[in-house]
C-alpha cells in the first residue's frame, strides 16, 4: 500500500482537529471586555493545542517522507495516533472552561502522554515494516525528544496534582517549545535519503 492516501487522510483529520478546536471556544454573549476575559484561558489552551497539532503534523510529515510503503499494522497504528489527537479538542475545552483546574489539567497531560506513546508505537511499527536498516530507523536511533517528552508530561501531571494546576501547564508549554526546535537529525536523514531516490 502506498503512503500517499494515508498521508492525505491524516492531513485531513489533523486539519479538522486543529480547526474544530476553535468551536470549543464559546462565543461570549455579552459584548463587553469582561465577557471576553472569560475566554482568555480558553484562548491560551487553544493556542497550546494548536501548536501541539502543528508539531504532530510536522513530525508526521517528516516521518512518512522517508517511508514508501505501509502495511495494515502501520495503518492502524496511524489511526491509533489520530484517535488520541482527536480527543485534544475535548480535553482542551474542559481545561479551558475550568481555568486550569486540577482534574482537567491532569487529563490534558494524560492526553498528551497518550499521543506521545501512540507516536512512538507508530514509529516502531514503521521501523519493523521497513527494517532496521531503513532511513527512519537510523534517524530516530537516538530519539532524545521522544524519550524526554513523556517524562515531562509525567512531571507536569504530578505538578498539577500536588501544586497549583498552572505549574503543570508550564511543563506542557516547555515540551512544546522543545519540539518547536526543528529536528535536525530527521532533516539530515531526508536529505541523505533524497538522492538515493532520484
Write out the residues near a second copy by the rule CB under 8 A.
1, 5, 7-9, 11-20, 22-25, 27-33, 36, 47, 50, 54, 57-58, 61, 65, 72, 75-76, 79, 82-83, 86-87, 89-90, 93-94, 97-98, 101-104, 107, 180, 182, 187, 190
| Residue 72 vs 151, nearer CB to a second copy | 72
d(CA 64, CA 77): 13
Q: How far is the CB of 72 from a second copy (least distance, A)?
A: 4
The strand pairing partners of 2, in sequence order, are: 69
| Residue 111 vs 120, nearer CB to a second copy | 111
* Contact by Cβ (8 Å): 134, 190: no
User: Rounded to the nearest 5°, which phi and psi values hold at 38?
Assistant: -60, -20
The conformation of residue 163, written as its DSSP 8-state character, comes to: S
| Residue 45 vs 123, nearer CB to a second copy | 45
The strand pairing partners of 69, in sequence order, are: 2
Helix axes 40-65, 102-130, angle to 10 degrees: 10
| Residue 36 vs 151, nearer CB to a second copy | 36
Q: How far is the CB of 173 from a second copy (least distance, A)?
A: 16
Amino acid at each position: 500500500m502506498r503512503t500517499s492516501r494515508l498521508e492525505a487522510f491524516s492531513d485531513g483529520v489533523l486539519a479538522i482537529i486543529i480547526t474544530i478546536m476553535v468551536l470549543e471556544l464559546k462565543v461570549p454573549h455579552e459584548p463587553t471586555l469582561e465577557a471576553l476575559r472569560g475566554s482568555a484561558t480558553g484562548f491560551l489552551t487553544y493556542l497550546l493545542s494548536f501548536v501541539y497539532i502543528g508539531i504532530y503534523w510536522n513530525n508526521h510529515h517528516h516521518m512518512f517522507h522517508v517511508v514508501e510503503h505501509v502495511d495494515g499494522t502501520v495503518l492502524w497504528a496511524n489511526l491509533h495516533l489520530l484517535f488520541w489527537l482527536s480527543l485534544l479538542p475535548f480535553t482542551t475545552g474542559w481545561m479551558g472552561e475550568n481555568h486550569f483546574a486540577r482534574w482537567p489539567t491532569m487529563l490534558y497531560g494524560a492526553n498528551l502522554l497518550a499521543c506521545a506513546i501512540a507516536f512512538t508505537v507508530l514509529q516502531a511499527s514503521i521501523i519493523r515494516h521497513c527494517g532496521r536498516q531503513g532511513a527512519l530507523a537510523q534517524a530516530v536511533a537516538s530519539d532524545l525528544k521522544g524519550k524526554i517528552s513523556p517524562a515531562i508530561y509525567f512531571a507536569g501531571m504530578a505538578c498539577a496534582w500536588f501544586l497549583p494546576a498552572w505549574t503543570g501547564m508550564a511543563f506542557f508549554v516547555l515540551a512544546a517549545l522543545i519540539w518547536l526546535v526543528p529536528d535536525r537529525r530527521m532533516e539530515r536523514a531526508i536529505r541523505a535519503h533524497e538522492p538515493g531516490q532520484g
